[in-house]
Amino acid sequence: MIISRRRSQWKTGWGKPLLRSALLYAGGSALAACAILLAIAVFTEPGTGETTGTFLAVGMIVGCLAVGVVLTIMVTNPGWATGLAGGVFAVGAAISGWLVYLTMPDPGELAYIAHRHALAALAFVFGVLGGGLLVLGEMATDGKVPAPRWRPPVDMTVRVSVLAMAVVVVAAGAGAPAMHEWTDAANTDATVTDSDAPRAARLALDATRAQGAADGGVGTPAGLLALDETGEHASVAVTMRDAATGAERWHHRRWNRAASGPPVLSADRGLVALPGKRRDDTTMRYVSILDVKSGALRADVPFDGDPGTLRAVTSHLLIHAPTKTALEARDHSAGMRWKYQAPNDCEISTVDDDDVRVVLGLACRSDTDTKDRAGVVALDAATGQKRWSWRAKAEGHIYKNGLVITPELVVADVRRDASPKDGMFAARKFRHDLNAISIQTGEKEWRRKNLHLGDTYATACAGTLQLAGDDPRTGSVVLGECHQVSGEAGATFDVAAYSLKSGKKRYKAKADLGYAPMRKEKAGNWFAGLPDGRVIMAADASMDLNRPKCRLYEAGPDSSDKDELPVPARFAKTDWCRRASLHVTPNSVAVSFPVTGADDGSYFSIT
């Protein structure tokens, strides 16, 4: 009898008052969430401009004051006054949300949706929701406050109201990170492919093929990874192209992220890591890891703060250099895995890896004299533990781009300046000490001492190592450097190839060089080794800066003779080679370069 009576009271007396309480408390919570989210958008999310910041700041102040007024009315004047206040607030929040939506740009080059836009939009959604719930709550009892005899028990009202408030709080808590994800997705333009990568072939290099836009790039097994933008404000934006045809395979563009470093390929060249920072909050750093062949996103790793320069990516790790003397390895969830600190008086000059080991080149100051000492350290990629170390016998440094690795060897170039101390304006006399070290044990395999390819005034072109094939029987390590012609005006760009197996010189080729590279030109990109041992070289032979004479050459693998390669007619009389980068792909060699007077760079390929 008692149970039946309670059910009857629920149907006829308690239901509407209980529903009213739940709706009012949920509405009040939604209004509070609106104010809190607006404050978060204004105070914790940097803006994209003074106008946007001012608009949101004013909106936050007005919104918070309005929330306070509505909640005060709800407490002091329950009934239709509360419903009316909620309705007015809902209309105002809807208009404000629509204005926020209208101010969101279409993401693209130099335009992106800021995270504060998304949070402000979410705040106004909760404002509309809160105001609407207040209206519905008062409508449940026809704008009247239920008489005491029709009110449900206090404990029941509390439980239902707390549950309603909890639902709103959970929704707001989940909504904020969801809007961050939505913002990143809205600012991302990406495609993937399941088509096969270009097939590798021996290149005849007798015909020019595709031409197109590219602000630099990276040669990969899937083609040319072209940078869509370069410079201080460049976005994280790349396009994978079949270099021989120019056809796009896939692209990945993050318009709300500025590139914070160049793309980094994994040792097996199957992954590419794209470091970037949020444009509207540069303290937030990210590394997007993509599959090279398909363009599929493997991981998007967030960092709260600057982790340093990205030096390597493996199948499970990202390796950064926060300082010149330290390395940190994090997994693809940004969890710290290990740290390495270089010995005292040493700096980490270069980093390479084979997915199993991380190999460091060290530039150190001697404890006993003023001479520079170089060394190599191999770390276990999984644990960071030192596997072996090697110290150079010759004085000098291992500079950036002075170390390469193969499946069996680490080859390090220890370079020193042997120029006279009183020859301030004399050509620099660089000496090279090439050392091949077993990648398994750290033991010496061979050494070429005191190599002197020539004197140079162009210190920006003082020596770079590259591989021309990594087969120990046929592969070569290639040393490239610019040299002054003795007793004459002009210079040459020289490459010398040494056998990976024995260190014996296989060939040396020279190209006339009238244009001396400066710091901003990366002369190490002026040559590239092919898997069969040949080398491609680019050089400007003109002595007149206004009349460039850019040429492309092929040398090796068995002869020092060089052959000139074709260049598209439209670029034949331009200065394309002065800041060119050569990229080897399976079916072509791509040459990318900035175009003087143009916003975008260009590239062409030869097959």
pLDDT, tens digit, for every residue of 97-137?
Answer: 898 888 888 888 878 888 888 898 999 999 999 989 888 88
Q: What does the pLDDT look like over 383-408, one tens digit per residue?
A: 999 999 999 988 888 888 899 999 99
* Residue 464 in this model has a pLDDT that exceeds 80: yes
Distance in angstroms (rounded) separating the CA atoms of residues 124 and 172: 12
| Residue labelled with tokens 């592969």 | 475
Measuring CA to CA, which residue among 180, 182, 186 is closest to residue 40? 180
Tokens of 570: 């439209």
Do the beta carbons of residue 527 and residue 478 sit within 8 Å? yes
The pLDDT assigned to 9 comes to: 46
**Cβ count within 10 A of residue 59:** 22
Asked whether residue 91 is assigned to any structural domain, the reply reads yes
Tokens of 74: 């709800």
Tell me whether strands 403-405 and 588-593 are parallel, antiparallel or unpaired: unpaired
64 burial via Cβ count (<10 Å: 0-12, 13-18, 19+): middle
User: Roughly how many angstroms between the first and final C-alpha of the chain, as a whole number?
Assistant: 93
Beta-bridge mates of residue 413:
434
Measuring CA to CA, which residue among 356, 351, 451 is closest to residue 408? 356
Task: Provide the H-helix boundaries in 141-268.
Answer: 154-186
39 burial via Cβ count (<10 Å: 0-12, 13-18, 19+): middle
In the predicted model, what is the mean pLDDT of residues 9-19? Answer: 64
What confidence tier does 418 reach under pLDDT thresholds 50, 70, 90? confident
The pLDDT assigned to 405 comes to: 93
Q: Which stretch of DSSP H or E encloses residue 504? A: none
* Residue 369 in this model has a pLDDT that exceeds 80: no
What confidence tier does 61 reach under pLDDT thresholds 50, 70, 90? confident
**Cα 330 to chain centroid, rounded:** 15
* Residue 62 in this model has a pLDDT that exceeds 90: no
In the predicted model, what is the mean pLDDT of residues 568-574? Answer: 88
Do the beta carbons of residue 594 and residue 585 sit within 8 Å? no
Q: What is the layout of strands, in order, in the sheet containing 581-585?
A: 208-213, 602-606, 588-593, 581-585
Asked whether residue 522 is assigned to any structural domain, the reply reads no
Asked whether residue 235 is assigned to any structural domain, the reply reads no
Beta-bridge mates of residue 219:
224
* Residue 373 in this model has a pLDDT that exceeds 90: no
What confidence tier does 149 reach under pLDDT thresholds 50, 70, 90? low
The pLDDT assigned to 75 comes to: 82
Asked whether residue 145 is assigned to any structural domain, the reply reads yes
- Name the domain count of the chain: 1
User: In terms of pLDDT, which residue wins out, 230 or 62?
Assistant: 62
Distance in angstroms (rounded) separating the CA atoms of residues 365 and 347: 9
Asked whether residue 369 is assigned to any structural domain, the reply reads no
Asked whether residue 77 is assigned to any structural domain, the reply reads yes
User: In terms of pLDDT, which residue wins out, 292 or 142?
Assistant: 292
Contacts of residues 316-324 at CB distance under 8 Å and 24 or more positions apart, as own/partner, are: 316/382, 317/381, 317/382, 318/273, 318/287, 318/289, 319/351, 319/353, 319/358, 321/348, 321/351, 324/348
Tell me whether strands 505-513 and 491-499 are parallel, antiparallel or unpaired: antiparallel
Tokens of 379: 């770390």
The pLDDT assigned to 536 comes to: 94
Distance in angstroms (rounded) separating the CA atoms of residues 399 and 403: 8
The pLDDT assigned to 25 comes to: 87
* Residue 381 in this model has a pLDDT that exceeds 70: yes
The pLDDT assigned to 1 comes to: 42
In the predicted model, what is the mean pLDDT of residues 422-438? Answer: 79
Q: In terms of residue numbers, what domain contains 81?
A: 14-189
Measuring CA to CA, which residue among 598, 463, 473, 485 is closest to residue 543? 485
DSSP state of 468: E
Asked whether residue 80 is assigned to any structural domain, the reply reads yes
What confidence tier does 485 reach under pLDDT thresholds 50, 70, 90? confident
pTM of whole model > 0.85?
yes
Do the beta carbons of residue 580 and residue 565 sit within 8 Å? no
Asked whether residue 328 is assigned to any structural domain, the reply reads no
Q: What does the pLDDT look like over 337-357, one tens digit per residue?
A: 999 999 988 899 999 998 899
Phi and psi torsions of 422, nearest 5°: -95, 5
